[in-house]
Amino acid sequence: MTYGTIYAIVAIGFNIIYNATGIINFAQGEFVMLGGMTAVTLNQFVPMPLAILLAVVLTMIVGAVIEIVFIRWLYKPSVLRMVIITIGISILIREIALHIWGESVRALPYFTGSSVSSINLGGVFISSQVLWVVGIGGLAVAALTAFFSLTMLGRQMRACAANRDAARLCGIDAKNMVTLSFVLSAAIGAIGGAVVCPITYVQYDSGTPLAIKGFTVAILGGLGNSTAAVGAGMILGILESFSIWVLPTAYKEAISIAILLAILFVRPSGIFGSAEAARLKEF
């Protein structure tokens, strides 16, 4: 469940940017890492809730900077070019993180209780942090859904995603919407990173595996469909925990990638997506 939630959060981050721009941001996992890392560092100076809030804001700024510096002024870039640029950005963030924080593994303290304490939920004992992860993850997803369907800004973003030219004709600033999509996906990534890091720990290079699993989940649920991504995240999380029974832990990461490949080969539109809709999208 915990892992499933974090994968779903990363996948939603992918979806936000994909929907607004048609770009897969390979640096999405780095947002999660940045969120966790900055929260841990700031927690040394300020109380934890404030540290997490500041970490999210900082990561949002990073997201905005990335969009403004690298993406904004490109005119109709090819997919290959965008793939390579975002991979380059992810390497850059990772290397900067390595030089700031070193190779050490960090973690936030548990929000409530400790790593050994657990809560009895009708006979099942689970760690309180798992509840925090699922709760905050669920809240973030709900907030995003509300944002996209209820607020004017959210509707404008969806308009841009559906048809950028038409949106522009209606007086929507499409470029700012793209920036906003990077900011939003950075925010949700950072929230996920901060919430989950007491359990999973965070290191300078923990972004890439998350990005790959998030991408798997995004594909599994059908690119661009955030509700399906939550379901797909849970499926992958559960599959992964089962795989440990059959195969050595060292191969755990290979499992999710094998699933990804299998889905790509058999059904690139995802389990919950329609093949019809997938054909209309640009890859």
By CB under 8 A, name the binding residues for another protein: 24, 70, 74, 77-81, 83-85, 87-92, 94-96, 99, 208, 212, 215, 219, 248, 250-251, 253-254, 257-258, 260-261, 264-265, 268, 282-283
| Shortest reach from residue 260's CB to another protein, in Å | 6
| Shortest reach from residue 170's CB to another protein, in Å | 29
| Shortest reach from residue 230's CB to another protein, in Å | 21
Do residues 234 and 227 make contact, with C-beta atoms less than 8 angstroms apart? no
Q: How far apart are CA 195 and CA 53, in angstroms?
A: 11
**Residue with smaller CB distance to another protein, 154 or 268:** 268
Q: How far apart are CA 152 and CA 66, in angstroms?
A: 25
**Residue with smaller CB distance to another protein, 44 or 249:** 249
DSSP the chain: -HHHHHHHHHHHHHHHHHHHHS---TTHHHHHHHHHHHHHHHTTTS-HHHHHHHHHHHHHHHHHHHIIIIITT--S--HHHHHHHHHHHHHHHHHHHHHHHTT--B-PPPSSS-SS--EEETTEEE-HHHHHHHHHHHHHHHHHHHHHHHSHHHHHHHHHHH-HHHHHHTT--HHHHHHHHHHHHHHHHHHHHHHHHHHH-B-TT-HHHHHHHHHHHHHHH-TT-HHHHHHHHHHHHHHHHHHHHHS-GGGHHHHHHHHHHHHHHH-TT-SSS-HHHHHHS--
| Shortest reach from residue 94's CB to another protein, in Å | 8
Within 10 angstroms of residue 163's Cβ, the number of other Cβ atoms is: 12
Do residues 207 and 29 make contact, with C-beta atoms less than 8 angstroms apart? yes
| Shortest reach from residue 264's CB to another protein, in Å | 5
**Residue with smaller CB distance to another protein, 208 or 227:** 208
**Residue with smaller CB distance to another protein, 141 or 211:** 211
**Residue with smaller CB distance to another protein, 70 or 201:** 70
| Shortest reach from residue 3's CB to another protein, in Å | 17
| Shortest reach from residue 258's CB to another protein, in Å | 7
**Residue with smaller CB distance to another protein, 85 or 194:** 85
| CA dihedral sign, ordered 259, 106, 32, 118 | positive
**Residue with smaller CB distance to another protein, 51 or 229:** 229
**Residue with smaller CB distance to another protein, 119 or 261:** 261
| Shortest reach from residue 256's CB to another protein, in Å | 9
